[in-house]
């Protein structure tokens, strides 16, 4: 350890952290929200009632498919996880791609009845934005996110090695001291959740390892398809016999699957060439049924309901991979642990946010002319406002759009997402045109107003508003609205703090602010 090392590591941390910080902020915010993606989806589909019920859902979906899509290539039924209610099912006709599935997808509620809920992607959209971003080709987006994750891994390790001080500063948080406070906040949010940060970063890379590190497949296999066949089972499609055969009871197959998996539920049903005597049914174990999230797939003869031999068990490496991905996504997690995951995610968000602000706090003191900061400084300052206040406001807009857009709107889910970016973009404009301190106050206030509006609009536009939910004991809807109010309070508090902040940075200065 020497000065040079510390300096070059600090350089790396500062500049790469700055460049990737805004992206990491988005990744943390959407990822944290995605821990409640099923709950968000439920809130965004207030038309769906009933309780989680796998048997009723599966029977209802299959019955609907048998009546309305008897002679197609395949059926897919995405069963609800243990926190969800609705089932999404769809069919694929000959020659169609999976991209067209939304044209014939439908929703089944907890009673097994088809429901016409508003069209939305709910929490799933936020979950995908966590690594696919939006408006960008998915592959590029994932490379960008991977780069940010890799940097974060290096930043965490180098931080621990070089900054011995972060451990002597443990539990230290000094408020109202400008740069010192931001540094405390940055260190504290990094160190307190250090095991989480390490876990989440490494396992995050692992979730997309097949894209980031395809070289193992290239070295050991002639063709990638061979690897996928060995890893996930060869998927040779059954041949049509031309003979019609009714499908055996899906409930019986599910029962058999449960017995095979010691009680774990199926999460996904796939039926190839339904109605034919050679038709096959595949049941995949639910991703939330264990810490190892990659569930086994069982195959049944559709006509007889007889189960085929189980696929060979995974070895240690693939089991480890499955657990790592499971730990990252936390699907297995019971509710209490889920809140801890959420809290850790917020801590990560705070780490990135305070880091971004720290960059400016540190440099504000050294500005040659504080009245006219150089371009780069102003750019970072504005981007910070735009990201830290703007993105959360975008989320509020996403929820508001869900309630306010016309039900029959074409491409409704995409317009909900556009709503997110329109709201975010509007605050970006505010961040650019207003004096920086005013920009903070105004954008934070707008974000607070946005979150405050969510339960209000919910109350006006649905029959599941906060008071009704509390009265009926609808914990999920009530909690969602209360969390929105909590965020409104948080942003309002921040706006108030910035508004009343004396310019501690330049002690002795008579000027109110740069504004």
Residues lying near another protein in the complex (CB under 8 A) are found at: 2, 4-5, 7-12, 14-15, 150, 153-154, 157-158, 161, 168, 170-175, 188, 192-193, 195-196, 199, 202, 205-206, 209-210, 212-213, 215-221, 227, 230-231, 291, 314-318, 320-321, 324, 327, 332-333, 336-337, 340-341, 343-344, 347, 363, 366
Look at residue 75 and give its three-state secondary structure.
Answer: strand
Q: Which residue has the tokens 């009673």?
A: 111
What is the chain's Cα-based Rg?
A: 26
Closest separation between CB of residue 151 and another protein, Å?
9
Structure tokens at 466: 């906060």
Nearer to another protein, 234 or 429 (CB): 234
Q: What is the rounded CA–CA span in Å between residue 395 and residue 198?
A: 26
CA distances to 189, 320, 322 from 316, rounded to whole Å, are 34, 6, 10
**Distance in angstroms (rounded) separating the CA atoms of residues 253 and 90:** 20
Q: Which two tokens stand for residue 55?
A: 């048997």
How would DSSP label each residue in 268-322? EEEEESTTBTT-EEEEEE-TTSSSS-S--EEEEETTT-PBPPPPPPP-HHHHHHH
For the chain, how many residues are written?
515
Q: How far apart are CA 404 and CA 461, in angstroms?
A: 8
| Shortest Å distance, C-beta 261 to another protein | 17
* Residue (70 or 337) nearer to another protein, CB: 337
Q: Which is nearer to another protein, 136 or 173 (CB)?
A: 173
The β-bridge relationship of strands 266-272 and 74-78 is antiparallel
Q: What is the H or E stretch that residue 115 is in?
A: strand 114-115
Q: Measured from the CB atom, is 349 or 402 closer to another protein? A: 349
Q: Is-contact 247 281, C-beta < 8 A?
A: yes
Phi first, then psi: give them for residue 262, nearest 5 degrees. Answer: 50, 45
Query: Would you call 170 exposed, middle or buried from its count of C-beta atoms within 10 A (0-12, 13-18, 19+)?
Result: exposed
* Element holding 78 (H helix, E strand): strand 74-78
Distance CA 90, CA 76 (A): 5
Beta partners for 272?
Answer: 74, 280
Measured CA to CA, the distance from residue 279 to residue 272 in angstroms comes to 6
* Shorter beta-carbon distance to another protein: residue 98 or 170: 170
CB 159, min distance to another protein, A: 11
Q: Which is nearer to another protein, 187 or 299 (CB)?
A: 187
Q: How far is CA 159 from the centre of its chain?
A: 26
- Of the two residues 9 and 431, which places its CB atom closer to another protein in the complex? 9
Q: Which C-beta is closer to another protein: that of 123 or that of 146?
A: 146
Q: Which CB, 363 or 378, lies closer to another protein?
A: 363
Question: Of 172 and 509, which has the nearer Cβ to another protein?
Answer: 172
Query: How far apart are CB 467 and another protein at their closest, in Å?
Result: 30
């Amino acid at each position: 350890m020497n000065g040079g090392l510390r300096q070059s590591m600090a350089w790396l941390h500062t500049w790469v952290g700055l460049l990737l910080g805004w992206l990491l902020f988005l990744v943390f915010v959407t990822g944290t929200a995605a821990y409640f993606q099923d709950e968000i989806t439920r809130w965004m589909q207030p038309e769906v009632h009933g309780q989680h019920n796998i048997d009723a859902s599966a029977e209802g979906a299959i019955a609907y498919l048998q009546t309305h899509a008897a002679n197609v290539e395949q059926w897919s039924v995405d069963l609800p996880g243990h926190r969800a209610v609705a089932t999404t099912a769809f069919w694929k006709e000959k020659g169609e791609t999976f991209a067209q599935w939304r044209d014939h997808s439908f929703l089944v509620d907890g009673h097994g009845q088809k429901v016409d809920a508003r069209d939305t992607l709910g929490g799933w959209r936020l979950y995908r934005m966590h690594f696919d971003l939006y408006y960008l080709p998915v592959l590029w987006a994932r490379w960008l996110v991977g780069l940010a994750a890799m940097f974060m891994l290096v930043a965490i390790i180098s931080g621990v090695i070089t900054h011995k001080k972060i451990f002597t500063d443990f539990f230290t948080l000094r408020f109202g001291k400008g740069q010192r406070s931001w540094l405390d906040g940055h260190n504290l949010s990094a160190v307190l959740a250090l095991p989480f940060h390490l876990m989440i970063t490494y396992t995050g890379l692992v979730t997309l390892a097949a894209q980031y590190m395809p070289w193992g497949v290239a070295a050991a296999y002639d063709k990638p398809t061979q690897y996928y066949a060995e890893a996930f089972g060869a998927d040779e499609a059954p041949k049509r016999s031309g003979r019609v055969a009714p499908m055996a009871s899906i409930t019986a197959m599910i029962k058999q699957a449960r017995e095979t998996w010691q009680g774990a539920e199926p999460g996904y049903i796939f039926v190839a060439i339904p109605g034919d005597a050679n038709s096959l049914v595949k049941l995949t174990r639910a991703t939330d049924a264990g810490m190892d999230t990659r569930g086994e797939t069982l195959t049944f003869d559709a006509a007889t309901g007889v189960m085929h031999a189980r696929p060979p068990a995974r070895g240690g490496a693939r089991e480890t991979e499955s657990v790592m991905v499971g730990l990252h996504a936390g699907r297995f997690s019971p509710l209490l642990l889920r809140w801890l995951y959420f809290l850790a995610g917020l801590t990560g968000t705070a780490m990135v946010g305070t880091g971004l602000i720290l960059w400016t706090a540190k440099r504000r003191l050294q500005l040659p002319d504080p009245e006219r900061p150089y371009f780069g400084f102003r750019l970072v300052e504005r981007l910070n406002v735009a990201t830290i206040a703007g993105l959360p406001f975008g989320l509020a807009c996403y929820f508001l759009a869900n309630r306010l857009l016309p039900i029959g709107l074409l491409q409704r889910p995409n317009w909900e997402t556009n709503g997110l970016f329109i709201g975010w973009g509007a605050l970006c404009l505010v961040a650019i045109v207003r004096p920086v301190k005013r920009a903070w106050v105004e954008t934070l206030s707008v974000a607070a107003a946005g979150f405050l509006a969510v339960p209000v609009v919910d109350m006006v536009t649905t029959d599941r508003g906060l008071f009704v939910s509390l009265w009926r004991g609808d914990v999920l809807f009530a909690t969602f609205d209360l969390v929105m109010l909590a965020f409104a309070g948080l942003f309002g508090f921040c706006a108030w703090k910035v508004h009343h902040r004396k310019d501690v940075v330049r002690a002795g200065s008579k000027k109110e602010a740069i504004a």
